[in-house]
Amino acid sequence: MSNTDPIPIDRGDLITEQRNPASAALDRGDVAAGFDIINTQDAGVAAAVANAKPQICAAVELIADRLRIGGRLIYLGAGTSGRLGVLDAAECPPTFMTDPNMVRALIAGGPDAMFRSIERAEDDAEAGRNDLSALNPGRGDVVFGISTGGTATYVREALRCAKEQLAATVFLACVPPEQVPDEADISIRVITGPEVVAGSTRMKAGTATKMVLNTISTLTMVQLGKVHENLMVDLNARACKKLTDRAVRTIATLTDLDYESAAELLERADGRVKTAVVMHQFRCAATDANERLGRNGDILRLALETTQTVSFENQEDGTM
């Protein structure tokens, strides 16, 4: 731990480390009673996330702005926090067809820590700095540190490194700032309270972290035009049969075509849902549909709502 780090060595005062009176008799009841205790405690997680709405929304706006200009979102964390960051980053390319470099994730201890606990890795300040430095963070990036207890030195040192490199910073913790201060540009605090098993932040705090990351990455991608209405329109339709089927059904929904016709249109659109929908709407070729999308920031709604008349050469009927 850096001698400039204000985090106390004794962590017993942190709310995530304290005992939960509601679960004090957890080992005395039967399984059904234990279930009720955990389920009741979990029921309050969504409200804790809701209390952080202003900071979460600010993070979405910041991240979307940076990604629009070619920046990256870089998650980093230790243990459960790190694994949840890796999970969210890994889901972005198939769900939103993002470049794998757009959303990255670092976990203390490296890839091996995804599958087995490497507890001491969270205390390694040098690794936090070195791991982030290897990605060459800069002014266009957002470095998003996750530490439910707020004290992971790996995360805190990486955030210091990010600020030195002029990257924007976000910090997510489940303890109040008066217990664990930070210097991030946006500080998200989701106060989930003492865990059912004292200190086991993979429970309520982990659930809250997953909810926050889901919300932030999803709303960011909405801002980037990767969702139309509530449908994935930038998914990787050729990644697997499930996503191919979802792409076909999305086209069918937005065009009123039958399933087989939508599948054929998807193929002619080179697997791009947005292209297929624009082809159908304007009865145009895929190249012309892509041009229209490009003029409208690759946002399907804008491409469909524009009143500009475009002359297309080598017109190919987008209907079936």
pLDDT at 315: 42
Taking every pair of Cα atoms in the chain, the longest distance, rounded to a whole number of angstroms, is 76
Span 273-289, pLDDT tens digits: 999 999 999 999 999 99
Q: Report the distance separating Cα 270 and Cα 6, nearest Å.
A: 54
**Cβ neighbours of residue 221 closer than 8 Å, sequence gap 6 or more:** 92, 95, 96, 98, 227, 234
C-alpha Rg value of the chain to the nearest Å: 23
User: Which residues does the annotation mark as catalytic?
Assistant: 91, 122
Average pLDDT of the chain is 92
Q: What are the residue boundaries of the structural domains of the chain, listed by start?
A: 15-223, 230-305
Looking at residue 9, what is its pLDDT? 66
pLDDT at 93 over 60: yes
- Adjacent-strand bridge partners of 106: 76
What is the reported pLDDT for 3?
A: 41
Label residue 5 by pLDDT band (50, 70, 90): low
User: What counts of helices (H) and strands (E) characterise the chain?
Assistant: 12, 7
User: pLDDT-derived band of residue 307, with 50, 70 and 90 as boundaries?
Assistant: low
pLDDT above 90 for 254: yes
Mean pLDDT in residue range 303-311:
66
8 Å CB contact between 203 and 196? yes
Q: What is the DSSP string of 105-129?
A: EEETT-GGGGTS--GGGGG-HHHHH
What's the pLDDT score for residue 20?
Answer: 94
Compare 312 and 46 and report the one with higher pLDDT: 46
Tokens of 21: 């009176």
> In this predicted model, which residue has the larger pLDDT, 180 or 7?
180
Better pLDDT: 300 or 312: 300
Q: What is the model's pLDDT at position 313?
A: 41
Give the pLDDT mean for 91-108: 96
pLDDT (mean) for 231-235: 94
pLDDT confidence of residue 288: 96
| Strand-strand pairing, 227-228 and 231-232 | antiparallel
What pLDDT does 54 receive? 98
DSSP strands (E only) in the chain: 73-77, 103-107, 142-146, 168-173, 186-189, 227-228, 231-232
Q: Decide which of 1.10.357.10, 1.25.40.80, 1.10.8.1080, 1.10.730.10 is the CATH code for 230-305.
A: 1.10.8.1080
Percent of the chain with pLDDT over 70: 93
Count of C-beta atoms within a 10 Å radius of residue 1: 13
- Least Cα distance to 29 among 20, 17, 38 occurs for 38
CATH for 15-223 is 3.40.50.10490
Amino acid at 307: T
pLDDT of residue 6: 53
Q: Write down the pLDDT at residue 119.
A: 84
Residue 153 has pLDDT above 60, yes or no: yes
pLDDT at 319: 46
pLDDT higher than 50, residue 188 = yes
Q: Tell me the per-residue pLDDT of 22-78, one tens digit each, with 9 for 90 and over.
A: 999 999 999 999 999 999 999 999 999 999 999 999 999 999 999 999 999 999 999
| CA–CA gap between residue 55 and residue 205 (Å, rounded) | 17
pLDDT band at residue 316 under the 50/70/90 scheme:
very low
Query: Count of residues for the chain?
Result: 320
* Closest to 142 measured CA to CA, from 73, 204, 64, 196: 73
Statement: the pTM of the whole predicted model exceeds 0.75: yes
**pLDDT (0 to 100) of residue 320:** 43
CA distance 39 to 54: 27
Q: Which two tokens stand for residue 239?
A: 């990644």
Q: Answer with the residue of higher pLDDT: 320 or 267.
A: 267
pLDDT surpassing 70 at residue 102 = yes
